Structure 1
Amino acid sequence: MDQQFYEEVQEPVSPPGQYFNSSVICSYVFGFLEMAVPIDDSQTIPLLKDVFLPINPRFSSIMVRDQDGRMKWKRVQVKPEEHVKVPKFPECNSPELYDQYFGDYVTRILTERTPQNKPLWEIHIINYPTSNAAGTLIFKLHHALGDGYSLMGALLSCLQRSDDPSLPLTFPSRTSSNSQQAKKSMFKKLPSFISSFFNSMSDFGSSLIKTRMIVDDKTPLRSGYEGTVSMPFTLSHISLYIDNIKAIKSKLGVTINDVITGLIFYGIRLYMQEIDRMARKANSTCVVMLNTRNVRGYQSVKEMQKSKVKGLWGNKISFLQVPIPKLGQSKISNPLEFIWNARKQIKKKRRSFSVYLIGLLLDLEMKIRGPEAVAKIIYKTLRNSSVVISNLFGPMEQMTLANHPISGLYFTMTGGPENVDITIMSYVKVIRITLRTLKGFVDEQKFKFCIEKAYDVMFKAAMEISETPNKN
């Protein structure tokens, strides 16, 4: 590799990239590909060299500080074999035992940091059968490299449709909730604009107070312990059929996200009540992560590069702080009210400008006090809350990677002080809810059971409705 390779213009590390790789937060995104057949790992190194590394220069870069003290991405020579981990489990004939080995291995790598003197990613090849797959491929990618949107774009560049590789993968449509609003005259929009303005000021003020002063109550899902980032976490999963979620959606006149968020909120309260009855009335907040790009649907890396919208790759995220309804409230006696409540809260906050005001405030804080100070604000926001939720919508068609059919797809995140992370991802006809919970504090099986119970109760209640209620 010639010297010119190392002396090319270095890309500055974005502010979010610096927040997520600081002394306060070191965050990773884990993508799990469940294979329907055993993995042929002889193809790994060629695929990394020919397909993965060319996706984005950051996969071949490390973070360095220049002479002026600014963080830059510096291209380096990559040795792919140093980034590939292939664990050895004790031989056995039991998928259930391999489930345990797999779970223990994942628990360990969730808290391990990748070396800073190498590009910030790893590939873990689990070539043992579990209850869900013949083998599992784990992508461990530092959050500084990009967010879920970027990484899904990277997947689009690596994966193909099983039915016809020449056709592009397709994703669930995302219709704009503001399409009708845009058709209104300025005069008719004025009351809505005034309402949004005051809601924005209120949300912005409450977010600042929540971040800096107000802390959620301690509950069976929020220990209040310091230093939980380095403690062991475990993963558990819930799989729901998209058609059943759509049936609830149609009956209630809401969105799929409303249904998923509402049933998770209800499941959270059921679990709290199961462990400690008083916790059902505790003050608890959920941080909902948002993609702030002004685009619809995912784009492959090539499409991102061609797009007129600049800066599609990277971290373009913000968050909403949504209060979790209490079981003790009289209005929440009907479980379906959790869905309508979630819809009302998120719809109101999405229409608010507070997300952008918070972004401007963080940018100002970055310029005045630097990335460590902003990382502390984000850390404190997560620490003062109870649960973090993030969702991605995946392909509607079955995929393959190097002729390996993919039977399942899910992800999780690490690096924050919260005790519970909930990630949601759709793939073909299934929605996978992944629970990352603090080991030894959260009873993950009981928590999983409570969310499944919430779904069963809500599905039954929704199917008994003869007419769609007007709850908008």
Structure 2
Amino acid sequence: MGLSYPIDIQAFKTAFSNSIMFKNPRFCSLIVRDNNGTKNHWKRTCINIDDHFIIHQNTTIVKTDLEIEDGDDKEAAINSFLAEISVSTPLNENKPLWELHVLMDLNCVVLRVHHSLGDGVSLMSLLSSCFCPKNEIISEGRKKGIWKLIKSLWLTIVFILRLLGRILWVKDKVSVVSGGDGVELWPRKLVTAKFMLEDLKSIKLAIPNATINDVLLGIISSGLSKYIDIKSPMALHQTLQLTAIIPVNLRKYPYLQKMSELVTNSNSGLSGWGNKTSIILLPIKCLNGLNALEHVRALKATMDKKKHSYVAYFGFRIVQFLVSYVSPKVGCWCFRKIIRNTTLVISNIKGPSERMVIADNLVTFMKVNVSSIPHAITVHMVSYAGMVNLQVMVAKDIISDPEILVEYFQDSFLKLKNSIKMNNQV
């Protein structure tokens, strides 16, 4: 999170100490093992706020070619820092699994959180409840008729079988953007693409029943196709298909309600806190001959089928069953196999539409990244106060020029925007 003014460390410590974050049991607990060392459980502990604030006075700048052209030293330094800590020392298990890095010279704070504390929706809801005027609540429910229900069940069976196949033997073909075992520890490189939310909304409205997520997926598909075509032209003659992991929020609302009540009751049956996220597998055909609009329409058609199935829900229940009644290691092994047999992960988190304020310091931007994934490329998007930041993190020994890939994403966006404008004029 970027701040408008120089950071007052003591004021920030006070703001976080007085927030409902400190009432959340996960942020105040340690993971401990039983005497046999076989089972983990949470144990409440006292927090020393000084142990969680890590101050950085000077931040090294490692600029990409794209950022040299833009002249954005600050963003280059932030991205360099984020890339470095994504493969640096793990979080210390002797204290609750979170820490706040304060980049003094950049007016920026980095909240580093272990995924066991919560998923993206939980953490975004927590930050919004702590530092934002209000949360937006939007219903995502949908009604189904009998025929649609039958169709949903059929699609669910098909997609569950495909998910099972992905765990057991099906894997993506090796390409110039493929990762693998151990790649999560390789040095990272990070580049940011920026979009105005209003522009994405205008494109969305021009495509019947499309979502902003469909538009972003089309932009990524189009940019990836062009990048792979240039790096490995022969791959496209074989109709290369990549598979992306798309995290799916299973809650009814994009934000959690009554956050102050939920975080104080770790056993609440009403609580949506924690990790209530599943995944769907999205095939992306790398066809450089398609224009950006065709990429959007193709992925929208695929995503519509996924949304009308219950594959995300059943996938979540299956993993929950394995972890609870078989072994957490079995659930972990299954998820690990899915990651190894796919090419990339694409996430999209809806952030606050209003700017947050921390200790009277206005938050100017927000970025999200996930680390420790053996993919060579991960793409994470977050919308905040009318702006969408798209973080492209790569293993730089595999993809040495992510700034070129980001240029292709932005070029696809501009072509999409211009084609929509021309169609409207006609």
Task: Give the TM-score normalised by the residue count of structure 1.
Answer: 0.80
What whole-Å deviation, never above 9, does each CA across 1:413-439 have from its counterpart, x for those lacking one? Answer: 112211111111111111111111112
Q: CA RMSD in A?
A: 2.6
Matched, 1:340 2:305: no
In 2, the alpha carbon distance for the partners of 1:294 and 1:177 equals 7
Matched, 1:235 2:198: no
Kept in 2: contact 1:290–1:319 (CA 8 A): yes
Residue 458 of structure 1: aligned partner? 416
**Residues 49-68 of structure 1: matches in 2 within 5 Å?**
49-51=17-19, 53-66=21-34
Residue 349 of structure 1: aligned partner? 306
What whole-Å deviation, never above 9, does each CA across 1:94-142 have from its counterpart, x for those lacking one? Answer: 985565554443222112201111110110000113xxxxx11100010
Instruction: For residue 284 of structure 1, report the CA deviation from its aligned partner.
Output: 0.6
Match of 1:376 among 319, 330, 333: 333
In 2, the alpha carbon distance for the partners of 1:265 and 1:238 equals 15
Residue aligned with 2:369, SS: strand
In 1, the alpha carbon distance for the partners of 2:79 and 2:194 equals 18
Residue 103 of structure 2: aligned partner? 126
What whole-Å deviation, never above 9, does each CA across 1:218-263 have from its counterpart, x for those lacking one? Answer: 222214x420111121221111111111111111121111111111
Kept in 1: contact 2:248–2:312 (CA 8 A): no
In 2, the alpha carbon distance for the partners of 1:282 and 1:408 equals 36
Kept in 2: contact 1:288–1:389 (CA 8 A): yes
Instruction: For residue 360 of structure 1, report the CA deviation from its aligned partner.
Output: 3.0
Residue 191 of structure 1: aligned partner? 147
Matched, 1:319 2:279: yes
Query: How has the CA–CA distance of structure 1 residues 195 and 312 changed in structure 2, closer, same or farther, with 3 Å as cutoff?
Result: same
Residue aligned with 2:31, SS: strand
Instruction: For residue 207 of structure 1, report the CA deviation from its aligned partner.
Output: 1.0
In 2, the alpha carbon distance for the partners of 1:317 and 1:445 equals 30
Residue 30 of structure 1: aligned partner? none
Query: How has the CA–CA distance of structure 1 residues 101 and 356 changed in structure 2, closer, same or farther, with 3 Å as cutoff?
Result: closer
- Give, as a single letter, the amino acid of the residue that structure 2 aligns with 1:358: G
Matched, 1:272 2:228: yes
What whole-Å deviation, never above 9, does each CA across 1:337-394 have from its counterpart, x for those lacking one? Answer: 2111211111111211222222232233224541112111111111211110111111
Query: How has the CA–CA distance of structure 1 residues 402 and 456 changed in structure 2, closer, same or farther, with 3 Å as cutoff?
Result: same
Mark the runs of 5 or more structure 2 residues left unpaired by the alignment. 64-70
Residue 19 of structure 1: aligned partner? none
Query: How has the CA–CA distance of structure 1 residues 303 and 424 changed in structure 2, closer, same or farther, with 3 Å as cutoff?
Result: farther
**Residues 399-414 of structure 1: matches in 2 within 5 Å?**
399-414=356-371
Matched, 1:44 2:44: no
Kept in 1: contact 2:27–2:98 (CA 8 A): yes
- Give, as a single letter, the amino acid of the residue that structure 2 aligns with 1:222: S
Kept in 1: contact 2:138–2:253 (CA 8 A): no
Instruction: For residue 325 of structure 1, report the CA deviation from its aligned partner.
Output: 2.3
Instruction: For residue 146 of structure 1, report the CA deviation from its aligned partner.
Output: 0.5
Residue aligned with 1:271, SS: helix
Match of 2:317 among 342, 353, 360: 360
Query: How has the CA–CA distance of structure 1 residues 371 and 250 changed in structure 2, closer, same or farther, with 3 Å as cutoff?
Result: same
Query: How has the CA–CA distance of structure 1 residues 170 and 144 changed in structure 2, closer, same or farther, with 3 Å as cutoff?
Result: closer
In 1, the alpha carbon distance for the partners of 2:425 and 2:285 equals 25
In 2, the alpha carbon distance for the partners of 1:424 and 1:140 equals 17
Mean Cα deviation higher: 36-45 or 144-153: 36-45
Instruction: For residue 300 of structure 1, report the CA deviation from its aligned partner.
Output: 5.4
Instruction: For residue 454 of structure 1, report the CA deviation from its aligned partner.
Output: 1.0
Residue aligned with 1:336, SS: helix
**Residues 41-440 of structure 1: matches in 2 within 5 Å?**
41-51=9-19, 53-66=21-34, 69-89=38-58, 100-111=76-87, 112-129=89-106, 135-160=107-132, 168-171=133-136, 174=138, 176=140, 178=142, 181-182=143-144, 189-223=145-179, 225-253=180-208, 254-280=210-236, 281-299=239-257, 301-302=259-260, 304=262, 310-327=270-287, 333-440=290-397
- Give, as a single letter, the amino acid of the residue that structure 2 aligns with 1:108: E
Instruction: For residue 77 of structure 1, report the CA deviation from its aligned partner.
Output: 2.1
Count, aligned residues: 410
What whole-Å deviation, never above 9, does each CA across 1:285-333 have from its counterpart, x for those lacking one? Answer: 01100111123544352154699972311000000101002306xxx73
User: Aligned residues: percent identity?
Assistant: 23
Query: How has the CA–CA distance of structure 1 residues 303 and 149 changed in structure 2, closer, same or farther, with 3 Å as cutoff?
Result: farther
Instruction: For residue 53 of structure 1, report the CA deviation from its aligned partner.
Output: 4.7
Query: How has the CA–CA distance of structure 1 residues 244 and 176 changed in structure 2, closer, same or farther, with 3 Å as cutoff?
Result: same
What whole-Å deviation, never above 9, does each CA across 1:441-468 have from its counterpart, x for those lacking one? Answer: 2121111111111111111122222499
Instruction: For residue 70 of structure 1, report the CA deviation from its aligned partner.
Output: 3.5
Runs of 4+ in structure 1 deviating by more than 6 angstroms, as ranges, are 306-309
Task: Give the TM-score normalised by the residue count of structure 2.
Answer: 0.89
Kept in 1: contact 2:368–2:382 (CA 8 A): yes
Instruction: For residue 148 of structure 1, report the CA deviation from its aligned partner.
Output: 1.0
